[in-house]
Structure 1
Amino acid sequence: MTVALAAGPAFAHPHVWVTAASELIYAADGSISGVRHAWTFDDMFSTYALQGIESKTKGAYTRAELAPLAQTNVESLKEFGFFTFAKADGKKEKFLDPVDYYLEHKDGALVLHFTLPFKTPFKTRQLALDVYDPSFFVDFSLAKQDPVRLVGAPSSCSLAIQRPNDGAAGAQKLNEQTFMNGENSNYGAMFANRITVDCP
């Protein structure tokens, strides 16, 4: 993410830490229409990203003041598939561009909110949703409380969450060059957060 994610200071992977909370959105007919994310960035990155952004109240930023940065974030995320990968019964599903996106400044951290509509809403027995950065530039972890919610899902649907082991320590032992030359272009897949929804 240009100013938002790719311009961090140069030190060992990962460079940015994100705590994610997500909602899977269902339509009235039981089809899945989209994914709504709220990503909280680490304090150091939040401070870095806010450099040069003016606010009327010192240390506080309104949604309007953060709007240009929010737009930059979601536009640059597109290149990376929004770090969100979905499969319905094993088949890859595609997303449209994000909607309803905005940044908020909360407890000293930036929180990016955005909704990813599926290209075509669909019904499925099993949905697998992975949230991760293949290059492990960004380390995603799911929020400790209520990391995933089903919104409007049929009552028969059940939710399972698979949290990865912490990959930051191992990644920091690797030479940064190993991430730059493609050797570890999918390193982050080992640390994907997997959300599975079964609807019999």
Structure 2
Amino acid sequence: MIPIRFLLALLFCLAAAGASAHPHVWVTARSEIVYGDDGQITAVRHAWTFDEMFSSFATQGLDANGDGKLTREELAPLAEVNVTSLAEFKFFTFGKFGDKRVVFDKPVDYWLESGPQGLLTLHFTLPVKENAPAKGEPFRVEVYDPTYFVAFEFAKDNPARTVSAPDGCGVDLERPKAPDATQSKKLSESFFSGLSPGANFGAQFSNTLLVTCR
């Protein structure tokens, strides 16, 4: 099974000739901030829906029984590879409070589903491993690809919510500004290949979940 990053690279190569600017894959996201009985965050739960081109490419040959439908079982190997490969990129999920970072553990409860128009949605839960904010303490969760190979846009309806949160706690979404025309022209392959390792260019396109309690 091919790692997701290699799949993404192949997808770009198969795209129309002359397509030279980042990003190359688009994801529509929904997220949940999950709390425990002690009032502290315990996990972030994601549902990421991939664009049509990537969904079509990634699922080629996976319909084992040839019935024209992709079951969770048929997609399980791809889901496994996806979450394993994304560990290198911290699952594009960065938790922060004050000057500290929330550390997430390996994902659990992950699976892929094929929805309307064959679009793939990856579901997974990131448990908090270390540095959970204290009950009632504000924090933020940023979702972005540092390399800007993958572009995240949160859903227009119900993009984020809390689960089992203490009374008075809620989450707001701060969406990034889209690159203007001048900036978009600069986002070529040569531009990104010239960036230093760890440049974190994609941070400026972060979707930020702001969690506060009254």
TM-score (norm 2): 0.86
Q: Is the 8 A contact 2:140 2:211 kept in 1?
A: yes
CA distance in 2, matches of 1:79, 1:142: 22
Match for 1:152 among 164, 167, 186?
164
Q: Which moved more, 1:120-129 or 1:140-149?
A: 120-129
CA distance in 1, matches of 2:37, 2:129: 17
Query: 1:7: which partner in 2?
Result: 10
Query: 2:151: which partner in 1?
Result: 139
Does 1:123 pair with 2:126? no
- Residue 21 to residue 115, structure 1, CA distance change in 2 (3 Å): same
Q: Is the 8 A contact 2:55 2:119 kept in 1?
A: yes
Q: Is the 8 A contact 1:135 1:187 kept in 2?
A: yes
Runs (4+) of structure 1 exceeding 6 A deviation are none
Pairs within 5 Å for 1:1-200: 1-10=4-13, 11=19, 12-107=21-116, 108-120=118-130, 121-124=132-135, 125-167=137-179, 170-171=183-184, 173-183=186-196, 185-200=199-214
Across the aligned residues of Structure 1 and Structure 2, the Cα RMSD in angstroms comes to 1.9
CA distance in 2, matches of 1:186, 1:154: 34
CA distance in 2, matches of 1:90, 1:5: 33
**Percent sequence identity over matched residues?**
49
Shift of 1:168: 8.5
Where structure 1 has 5 or more consecutive residues not aligned to the other structure, the ranges are: none
Q: Is the 8 A contact 1:139 1:168 kept in 2?
A: no
Query: 1:164-198 CA distances to partner (integer Å, 9 max, x unpaired)?
Result: 12239644543202212325932211110011111
Q: Is the 8 A contact 1:3 1:49 kept in 2?
A: no
CA distance in 1, matches of 2:185, 2:156: 24
CA distance in 1, matches of 2:179, 2:151: 8
TM-score (norm 1): 0.92
- Residue 9 to residue 36, structure 1, CA distance change in 2 (3 Å): same
- Residue 177 to residue 58, structure 1, CA distance change in 2 (3 Å): farther
Where structure 2 has 5 or more consecutive residues not aligned to the other structure, the ranges are: 14-18
- Residue 105 to residue 3, structure 1, CA distance change in 2 (3 Å): farther
Q: Which moved more, 1:106-115 or 1:81-90?
A: 81-90
